[in-house]
Amino acid sequence: MLTFLKKIFTWWNRDTIGTRIKTILFGKLIGSDEHGNKYYQSKKGKRWVIYANEIDASKIPVEWYSWIHFMPNKIENIHKLEKHNWQKPHQANLTGTDSAYYPNKNNKNATEKKYKSWK
């Protein structure tokens, strides 16, 4: 019961009732990615994504990012996109977490000043 009420009144967990109804009535499933996100398109050409877990726009892989933003590309069949061995797997935005990147994160000498202040 709590999950049902949470789904009705909160938009940040996943899709709301309005989005669910719109998807059922007007959406055509185009495909899904390796994270479980599902991509839909209406007859008028509007495109949207239903996230598998937590809503985070950085969880859209690059091949679907270009599709959802109407960017022309040479990838006609996104479902058969081959990844090269040098490509890293997609990561969500890690800003604000312990795994976030910043220069000289593990370098203890980086805290020393490299200049002398005036006196």
Q: How many domains does the chain have?
A: 1
Q: pLDDT at position 33, please?
A: 87
Residue 45 inside a domain? The answer is yes
The mean per-residue pLDDT over the stretch 40-56 comes to 88
22, part of any domain: no
Q: Tell me if 48 is assigned to some domain.
A: yes
Check whether 45 has a pLDDT greater than 60: yes
What whole-number distance in Å separates Cα of residue 37 and Cα of residue 14?
11
Read off the pTM.
0.61
Q: Which residue has the tokens 């899904």?
A: 32
State the average pLDDT over residues 60-73.
82
**Domain presence at residue 66:** yes
The pLDDT value recorded for residue 2 is 65
Residue 111 belongs to some domain of the structure: no
Nearest 5 degrees, angle CA 20-CA 21-CA 23?
65
pLDDT at 44: 92
Q: Please give the residue range of the domain that contains residue 36.
A: 29-81
Pairwise CA distance, residues 82 & 69, whole Å: 21
Q: 31 by DSSP, 3-state: which?
A: strand
| Closest by CA position to 63, among listed 75, 49, 45 | 75
Instruction: Please tell me the total number of residues recorded for the chain in this structure.
Output: 119
- Among 18, 20, 40, 15, smallest CA distance to 28 is for 40
pLDDT at 97 over 90: no
Strand (E) or helix (H) holding 7: helix 2-9
Tell whether 35 is covered by a domain.
Answer: yes
Q: In this predicted model, what pLDDT tens digit does every residue of 76-95 receive, in sequence order?
A: 555 556 678 888 877 777 88
Note whether residue 70 is domain-resident. yes
